Amino acid sequence: MSLPLAGRRVLVSAGPTFEDIDPVRFIGNRSSGKMGIAVAAAAQALGAEVVLVAGPVHVATPDGVRRIDVRSAAQMREAVLGELPADVYIGAAAVADFTPRSVSGHKLKKTAGSDTLVLELVRTPDILAEVATHPRRPSLVVGFAAETHDVEHYARGKLANKKLDLIAANLVGAAEGGFERDDNALTVYWAGGERTLGPAAKTLVAAQLVALVAERLDG
């Protein structure tokens, strides 16, 4: 019997993005990349050809997975779009929503007489929404939504607005799953259905998520 994702190409994004301010400073976030990398490993274990586009993370690349390292949201977008076509895109990266309008070529200095610094930030491209509306759109596009409240309401909003097939939502905040942890719980929503995965180790939740992806791909 062949594996459920044999012959399928799965593209996964993981980790944070770092948006440079000057040669020594950046704006980042607390994403460890563990969930996305566990998803990549789980897809590989189910027989898929897996490409992982990773922001700056300190997690080993799973065996058999091809990894492309990037730093900024703009670089992540380029790498992801450059890897299409794929059967599945799973956007697990915590992409920065804003980036400095310009990167200073020199280290910003404190100036005498001023206690403030104003940074102008501009929106980054929404990679997930772009993949979901791309001419070479994967058959299944999966997003993540980290929410502090009204999880289903916001997750279903993103499912519709970004034209996704599945969205994996988790509650983040004190004592909850999510960033910087080894365990997680997700509720996955799609048009007309939902399934709760975990709470369990991220590796187990990732395996359950990828099994659901394989199911929806066949269905």
User: Which residues of this chain interact with ligand C5P, rule CB under 6 A?
Assistant: 13, 73, 91, 93, 95, 97, 124, 126-128, 143-145, 158
* Residue corresponding to tokens 């790498």: 79
Q: In angstroms, give the least distance from the CB of 175 to ligand C5P.
A: 21
C-beta of 46 vs 168, nearer to ligand C5P: 168
CB 108 within 8 A of CB 25: yes
C-beta of 47 vs 129, nearer to ligand C5P: 129
Q: CA 15 from chain center: how many Å?
A: 7
Question: 88: which strand partners?
Answer: 10, 140
Q: In angstroms, give the least distance from the CB of 132 to ligand C5P.
A: 9
* Catalytic positions, written as ranges: 29
Q: In angstroms, give the least distance from the CB of 39 to ligand C5P.
A: 11
C-beta of 47 vs 71, nearer to ligand C5P: 71
DSSP for 79-123, written as a single string: HHHHT---SEEEE--B--SEEESS--SS-----TT-------EEE
